[in-house]
Amino acid sequence: MDATMMNMSLVVFGILFATLAWGVWVGFSLIIVGFVGMVFFSALPAGNNIASSIWATVEKWEYVALPLFILMGEILYRSGISEKLFNALVPWLHRLPGGLLLMNILSCTLFAAVSGSSAATTATVGRITLAELDRLGYDKRLAMGSLAGAGTLGFLIPPSLVMIVYAILAEVSIGKMFMAGILPGLLLSGIYCFYIIYRGIRNPEIAPKTDKSYTWKDRAAAMKDLAPTAALILMVLGSIYGGVATPTEAAALGVFGAFLFALINRRMNTRILMDCLVNAVKTNAMIMLIVVGASFLSRVMGFLGIPAAITKSITQMDLSPYTLMILLGVVYVILGCLLDGFSMVVMTLPIALPMVTAAGFDPIWFGIYLVLMVELAQITPPVGFNLFVIQGLTREPIMKIAYYSLPFFFLMLLATAILTVFPEIALFLPNMMTVK
């Protein structure tokens, strides 16, 4: 990279981090930096490019799936689905090593398959499990840590809001991205479960003994409480994988199913519906502001040649593919301490994706790798959203919750390493089936 390009890059990224440190909203920071870069380093009209970039971003039909999945999550958050999951799983888990601590993992795994959001998964499951585990005398550190880690599955197990944004920006199939997340999500969930069981075997005191017993008839009867979750999974993901609906159409089906479940469960009225709609609009507006800001900044950096120059410089270093992914992982862990997941994806994709594909990695696989990096960001202070959600539920200090979550941070790194060495875990299902 020559001196002029280096100075230009330093100015652009310097202004970006200065505005973020100043407390400017991420979306506005991206637009400001793009505007400054275009005015001072390009002869192109900044105003026209802002307008055309925003329009080119928001007019994409695929983004309609985003507010629909957000609305589905909002409805499910208030629908009582977490109580159903708890009642269904208790008879199956109470005698295992670690006991009901496994509830956090399995409940988050199931709810993630109908949610799309990490924070929503953490909040919905945590509202029931944390209070109940505390009442029963379970180790609160492991209860909070496992919830923080398992809550991140909301971004990895489809449908996923981050996957939708990545797929649109990377120009890959949303349906294939969803399929690519299934096996890695189950892998990470399984690693968490094995860890809880291992801790339960090593230290049985983390799970208090209980004299309560359940018959196989009780277990079978409890499975009826999984029916709403199973029906929603079939409605949303089944319609996509079966080729019946696009992801956007499946999202609309999911909203209908969630609304119907809330009505049946007597958790829906006009006030609740308005709360769901307002919160869905706020969340979608926040995400889309980041997306349009990042799209404009990406266009500006493309005009200035910054991504190409950075990619060329790193390529000339002749790094091995695995070394490249380790370096990217370090960068993403650092960024995860400063930015939310959506900002990480849209800000870094124009630079990272060309490097990764040039190293021989599949863009679908890289999407799953990037989602895992976003998951790490969810439990790293000071910006980890899952930590704030759990703080709101428990009133514990953020740094304590982050410390309790540390084992699950390393387990996520382990899952990322496994996925990097064996990319077929993510690519097997997308390569086997054809989806829209």
Buried b or exposed e, range 44-64, using 16+ CB within 10 angstroms:
eebeebbeebbeebeeeeebe
* pLDDT score, position 143: 93
* pLDDT score, position 144: 95
Buried b or exposed e, range 162-178, using 16+ CB within 10 angstroms:
bbbbbbbbbebbbbbbb
Q: Helix, strand, or coil here: 343?
A: helix
Dihedral sign of CA atoms 13, 17, 19, 20 in order: positive
DSSP per-residue letters across 108-129: HHHHHHHH--HHHHHHHHHHHH
Q: Helix, strand, or coil here: 276?
A: helix
Average pLDDT over residues 246-271: 90
- The mean pLDDT value of the chain amounts to 86
* pLDDT score, position 425: 96
Q: What is the DSSP letter of 365?
A: H
Question: How deeply is 424 buried, as exposed, middle or buried, from its count of CB atoms within 10 A (0-12, 13-18, 19+)?
Answer: exposed
* pLDDT score, position 196: 95
Question: How deeply is 202 buried, as exposed, middle or buried, from its count of CB atoms within 10 A (0-12, 13-18, 19+)?
Answer: exposed
* pLDDT score, position 3: 67
Instruction: Give the pLDDT confidence of 168-225 residue by residue, as tens digits.
Output: 889 899 989 999 999 999 999 999 999 999 999 999 888 887 767 778 888 888 888 8
pLDDT class for 272, splitting at 50, 70, 90? very high
Give me the residue label for tokens 């909301």: 154
pLDDT class for 91, splitting at 50, 70, 90? confident
Question: How deeply is 115 buried, as exposed, middle or buried, from its count of CB atoms within 10 A (0-12, 13-18, 19+)?
Answer: buried
Instruction: Give the pLDDT confidence of 228-238 residue by residue, as tens digits.
Output: 888 888 888 88
Dihedral sign of CA atoms 377, 381, 383, 384 in order: positive
Read off the tokens for 360.
């021989």
Read off the tokens for 39.
């005015």
| pLDDT above 80 (res 264) | yes
* pLDDT score, position 14: 83
